[in-house]
Amino acid sequence: MAEARRTDLSAFLRSRRERITPEMVDLAPGPRRRTPGLRREEVAQLAGVGVTWYTWLEQGRPINASPQVLDAISRTLKLDSAERHHLYRLAGQAADPVPVDSGQVTPEMQGILDRLGDLPACVSNSRCDVLAWNDAYAALFPELVGAPEGERNSLWHVCLYPVPVTRLVDRDHELARAVAVFRGAYSRHADSPCWQDFVRRLSVESAEFARLWARQDVADPGPRVKRYKHRELGGLRFSTTSLTAVPEIRLIVYTPMDDRTRLAMSRLMSIGEPAR
């Protein structure tokens, strides 16, 4: 297990341990408890592993953990499905091979985007880099598509553009979830210098991202209903659907949820031709 992955594993296990109270696992709180959540020895006891071995695992030492042991730790720490997969990846027990990001957008992908008309859509990789888009997406998110290539990233955009033309209504909630989904993808690329550099740069630029990243939360991607406030057109509601084109590359489509949003998109598209 590479050093970066061991460091992430250590921080993740510690954060999950600290959120479990003794009462949640039928243990007496006891006096003089100086640490939030469970002690390491309590996790080891409940998971049926040695205290020294678990301590070494949480400290990020180069030891191997079997799937059976990881399952026991997952049950003890009450990990959900996304967190369990995250733990497996960090511990080097992921069943799926580590994919490689491709920044190539084929003419066929761009053709699909363009045929979607007034439906905003983009092609994005698992690092949230926006690789291609259609005119409707450009009209809705002009700052994002107009950003320099290294910052043309939806997570970067939400963190560092506080007052865009189209802003998320539930920004704090959606950002926290986006960071959790990003962490799930990060565990597949924890040894990649590109991913490490992105996290480092965004942590420096955004204290909010750094705080959310330190929480170690993990979530699975999935369909969402997102509410926006456009500077001129007012409230907009979209359902977002993500389709995997090739490994690590997604086609994301924003479908209007009501007539108001559909009419607003038609009006927005009629104002002018967005720049590519």
Digit-coded pLDDT (tens) for 4-15: 888 889 999 999
Q: Is 13 exposed, middle or buried (0-12, 13-18, 19+ CB in 10 A)?
A: buried
Inside any domain, residue 96: no
CATH, residue 58: 1.10.260.40
Segment 119-137 shows an average pLDDT of 94
Number of domains in the chain: 2
200-214 pLDDT per residue, tens: 999 999 999 999 999
Taking each helix axis from N to C end, the angle separating 193-205 and 207-214, rounded to the nearest 10 degrees, works out to: 120
Q: Is the pTM of this model over 0.85?
A: no
My answer on whether 126 and 44 are in the same domain is: no
Residue 275: the pLDDT is: 46
Instruction: Kindly state whether residues 175 and 217 are assigned to the same domain.
Output: yes
Average pLDDT along the chain? 88
- Residue 240's contacts (CB-CB under 8 Å, 6 or more residues apart) are 223, 224, 225, 226, 252, 253, 254, 255
**Does 98 fall in a domain?**
no
Least confident of 17-26, 165-174, 213-222, 260-269: 17-26
* Co-location of 30 and 161 in the same domain: no
Q: What is the DSSP secondary structure assignment for residue 125, as one 8-state letter?
A: E
**Any idea what the CATH number is for the domain that residue 248 is in?**
3.30.450.180
Give the domain range for residue 76: 3-90
- Does 248 lie in the same domain as 160? yes
Last residue within a domain, chosen from 55, 90, 125: 90
117 and 236 co-located in one domain: yes
65 occurs within a structural domain = yes
Please indicate, yes or no, whether residues 32 and 167 belong to a single structural domain of this protein. no
Q: Answer yes or no: is 71 within a domain.
A: yes
Of 20, 55, 90, the residue that ends a domain is: 90
Please tell me the distance from the alpha carbon of residue 144 to that of residue 209, in angstroms, as a whole number: 18
Question: Residue 102: what pLDDT?
Answer: 54
